Structure 1
Amino acid sequence: MTLIMPTVESDNASLSYMDRAGEGMPILFLHGSGFSKEVFSQQFESEELAGHRLIAVDLPGHGASPDAADPKATYSYAGFAAAVTGFIREIGLERCVVVGWSLGGHVAYEMLDAVPEVAGVLTFGAPPAVGGPLGIVRSLHISRNLLLISKGRFSKLDAERFELACLGGMRRGEFVDALLRTDEKMRPLLSRSVMSISGGGQKERLEASRTPVCILQGRHDPIARTGYVQTLSWPALFEGRAVIFEESGHAPFVDAQERFDRLVRRFCDAVASGQTGHAGNDMLPLSLAV
């Protein structure tokens, strides 16, 4: 595996990323809040995804990417999406599938139909909700873990607790330093931005989208509500429903890696071939097909 880890300057931000060559549809991975591109290292070693070009980027204020020059403008779903859009164009991606975890999934939603290079979006742990406090209550579990999402400076104990909630105890301690490194302005500003969203929010955006979207959810996710995700349906939703991994938590790409990688490959193949509609009666049940 040949892996390069450069930094790209665009009009919006300077972003660090890792890039592995491949002939198939490029896949761009976006990490969750406080984490870094390295969280997807297992996907870069996956046999299932060996034929695809794989790219993972550190969002502004995360990992090896510098903190935002204009935090108020950048630390929002739309601000992160603008930085990623600039990155996509700077490295010359003409068509790609964006795979987003948690915060990364919400950033991906912002690019639907607005960024023609994005041919499809697959998310997990990122329930698209209506705007404001009502959307948060309906789509997320209210808990001590959720309170950490808006906290500025993390203690080491905060970082360990948040990592445990997000990764379910797998790869324990690997991302504590990344969580501590995250720009302390990011979480409070992002939370305020999310609370200020009004109207139909990302749910309305997805329901109107023509871009194929696959939504994956772990049954035992301690952050995102599985019941809410199961109510979602719109024409461009891959096979007409959310995919539920029964044994997974917030990070199915880690706790069910092989099955996750198969789903990513299958969705990418469907996007590349234009076969992303609802499942018919002649198709395998999703639990058997992925």
Structure 2
Amino acid sequence: MDRSNVTNRFLLSQGRQVFVQEKSLDKPVKIVFIHGRCLSVRSWKRQFESELLDPFGLIAFDLFGHGSSDNTTDLHLYSLAGSVQLLLDLIDQLQLTNFILVGHSLGGHIALQALPRLPYCRGVFCMTMPLTIPIDFGKMYCNVNLLVNVYQANPTQTQLSAYIDSLFQSSASEKPLFVEDDFLRTDPAVHTGILQGLLAGDFGDEVDLIRTSGVPVALVQGEREQVHRLDYLNAFDLSLWREQPLLLPAAGHMVQWENPDLVNSLLVSFIAEVVSSQ
């Protein structure tokens, strides 16, 4: 990565340190990247490196319990609602008034959950499946047991390897080392906090949020996805950018890593359209 214009710092949110990576904050339109569960800002390396995104300010941060941000004993801060509050706090501290949210997996849920409270958000570009009420994990995920096994305090190396394999297309020859490192650095209590929030119903129906927010939303998936069931989206009639979920070739769940050129190109097109129309 060309780090000549990339800076790292810590901000405080609710008394805890949050790791923030930034680039070109003098640009009028900012992109805020939100990573997935057990990942970190490193999952956006190929976006921060991209010349296509040079016209924009780039901001990525580690969620509580992830990467270089603080862990916490307050499990609510690990829930969707707690992560939304963290996002809102950072947007307020950074005084963002013209921005796009880009979320991967859990980060996509956080972006969608935040929609009703983001008056300055121009659009949401997310790589996830919308959560519904009630949640149907069996329809959303290809292998629920795999996720149950790995989202615990001490998964075996076999379980962890199977999980990491599922994040990429089955033919992937390159699986970056940071993915396992990020998983092992993640506070295991994150999984409990997320689950407790879901069981408590502390989240909104994301299908309804997409329909009612008035904010343009793009849904993007790798066509070789091994975590989410792609046919899950067939049940919904959503008003989306380009009128449908976009399936990108040569990519699995880590679509922004496996096919970054296409993801970045689509993101630039999305921003151009949604900003010019508002």
What TM-score do the two structures reach when normalised by structure 2?
A: 0.89
- CA distance in structure 2 between the partners assigned to 1:226 and 1:177 by the alignment: 28
The answer to whether 1:28 aligns with 2:43 is no
Partner AA of 1:14 in structure 2: Q
1:140-194 CA distance string (max 9 Å, x none): 2234432246323444444433222213453332221211111111112212322
Displacement, 1:220? 1.9
Q: Provide closer, same or farther for how the CA distance between residues 157 and 244 of structure 1 changes in structure 2, counting only shifts above 3 A.
A: same
- CA distance in structure 2 between the partners assigned to 1:104 and 1:152 by the alignment: 22
1:248-273 CA distance string (max 9 Å, x none): 21111111110110011111111211
Aligned Cα RMSD in Å?
2.2
The answer to whether 1:221 aligns with 2:210 is no
Query: In structure 2, what is the equivalent of residue 206 of structure 1?
Result: 210
Partner AA of 1:131 in structure 2: I
Match of residue 128, structure 1, among 116, 122, 130: 130
Deviates further, 44-53 or 11-20: 11-20
- CA distance in structure 2 between the partners assigned to 1:186 and 1:199 by the alignment: 16
Partner AA of 1:194 in structure 2: L
1:74-103 CA distance string (max 9 Å, x none): 121111010111011112211211100000
Match of residue 5, structure 2, among 2, 5, 9: 2
Within a 5 Å distance, the mapping from 1:80-95 to structure 2 comes to 80-95=83-98
Query: In structure 2, what is the equivalent of residue 142 of structure 1?
Result: 143
Query: In structure 2, what is the equivalent of residue 62 of structure 1?
Result: 66
- CA distance in structure 2 between the partners assigned to 1:113 and 1:17 by the alignment: 24
1:178-225 CA distance string (max 9 Å, x none): 111111111122123224439972222222221111000112211111
Match of residue 52, structure 1, among 41, 53, 56: 56
Displacement, 1:27? 0.5
1:11-69 CA distance string (max 9 Å, x none): 47421011000525211111110011011111111011111111111000000000135
Partner AA of 1:193 in structure 2: G
Query: In structure 1, what is the equivalent of residue 163 of structure 2?
Result: 162
The answer as to whether partners of 2:113 and 2:203 remain within 8 angstroms in 1 is: no
Give the secondary-structure state (helix, strand or coil) at the position aligned to 2:178. Answer: coil
Displacement, 1:231? 4.1
Partner AA of 2:241 in structure 1: F
The answer as to whether partners of 2:42 and 2:178 remain within 8 angstroms in 1 is: no
Partner AA of 1:174 in structure 2: F
Within a 5 Å distance, the mapping from 1:260-271 to structure 2 comes to 260-271=263-274
Deviates further, 89-98 or 223-232: 223-232
Partner AA of 1:219 in structure 2: E
Deviates further, 1-10 or 54-63: 1-10
The answer as to whether partners of 1:109 and 1:121 remain within 8 angstroms in 2 is: yes
Match of residue 250, structure 1, among 247, 253, 265: 253
Query: In structure 1, what is the equivalent of residue 119 of structure 2?
Result: 116
The answer as to whether partners of 2:207 and 2:238 remain within 8 angstroms in 1 is: no
Q: Provide closer, same or farther for how the CA distance between residues 116 and 199 of structure 1 changes in structure 2, counting only shifts above 3 A.
A: closer
The answer as to whether partners of 1:130 and 1:199 remain within 8 angstroms in 2 is: no
Query: In structure 1, what is the equivalent of residue 275 of structure 2?
Result: 272
Query: In structure 2, what is the equivalent of residue 284 of structure 1?
Result: none
Match of residue 100, structure 1, among 78, 100, 103: 103
Q: Provide closer, same or farther for how the CA distance between residues 258 and 272 of structure 1 changes in structure 2, counting only shifts above 3 A.
A: same
- In structure 1, stretches of 5+ residues that fail to align are 276-290
The answer as to whether partners of 2:77 and 2:193 remain within 8 angstroms in 1 is: no
Q: Provide closer, same or farther for how the CA distance between residues 198 and 43 of structure 1 changes in structure 2, counting only shifts above 3 A.
A: closer
Query: In structure 1, what is the equivalent of residue 41 of structure 2?
Result: 37
- In structure 2, stretches of 5+ residues that fail to align are none
Query: In structure 2, what is the equivalent of residue 233 of structure 1?
Result: 237
